Amino acid sequence: MKVKTAAKINLSLDVTGKLENGYHTIESVFQTVGLYDEISVDLTENGIEISCELPEMFETADPIPCDERNIAYKAAKRFFEETGRETGCRIHIKKGIPSQAGMGGGSTDAAAVLYCLNKLTGEPLDKSQLEETGAKIGADVPFFITGGTAYVGGFGEQITAISDYSGKILVIAKGQEGVSTPVAYSKVDSLVNPVHPQTQKLVDAVNSGDENAYKYFGNLFEDAVGLNEVSDIKQKMTENGALSSVMTGSGSAVFGLFSDKQTAEKCCEILRKSDYFSAVCETVGESFIVVE
């Protein structure tokens, strides 16, 4: 089975607290976007094999482990444990989502593996069980089982679907700079009097169909990590027609919202000439597209 599996952006991302165990609580609006990895899964007699295919433009990023350290491998292992299936699989990942981008590339791969294995083995798990299995692998994995537009709270496990926000035109761009998630959170912890995004107002605006919902886009991590390339991409997007431009996740990709595709494509070309990865896509209503 082969599926295309979507990336996500955070239309809003806020850190609302930190517990004694070091875990942070968040408040966010997740949105799947039409930038995809392609996952192929074949059932085998035993064992889990994994291979990866990267476009040349991604090769300068940190290497993706193609062994048991890969989250897609962990997803397959967990699926077989949860279902008691004494079989194996072969997984091939063709990357189209940049890594270290705050776009959930690993988590969406893991969700796709769970989805494919469930289909290939006669659907032993229902949707809620798939989400529960995903939660044991990574915080963002359950969201990708469905995708679309969702309010996300807690540690990322509280997922509530909100009104469909698909069909919006985006440019997504990323430079070479990156920041690890733990470092990003430590930088958030050290912020003094931070300006928090208005996530609840964004939820209300999306649910009411407000065309100006983008005015409530925001990301607390943006000021915290302070990446020069993020500032430069945001400026270029704003100067070239973006209605709003915000970093996603803990970095370092940036998305810009555009009112029409022609303006978006012009901006995308300008960013590419500055040696940034850049792509035009749309917000989409679900994670998976079955290819074969």
- DSSP codes joined into one string, 75-135: HHHHHHHHHT---EEEEEEE--SPSSSSS-HHHHHHHHHHHHHHHHTT--S-HHHHHHHHH
CB 249 within 8 A of CB 102: yes
Supply 153's token pair. Answer: 């709270």
Q: Is 215 helix (H, G, I), strand (E, B) or coil?
A: helix
Tokens, residue 158: 């509280």
Give the active site residues. Answer: 8, 140
Write out the H or E segment, with its range, that includes residue 287.
none
H/E stretch holding 217 reads none
| Phi and psi at residue 191, to the nearest 5° | -65, 140
83 burial level (CB within 10 Å; 0-12, 13-18, 19+): middle
Integer angstrom CA distances of residue 265 from 58, 96, 258 = 21, 18, 10
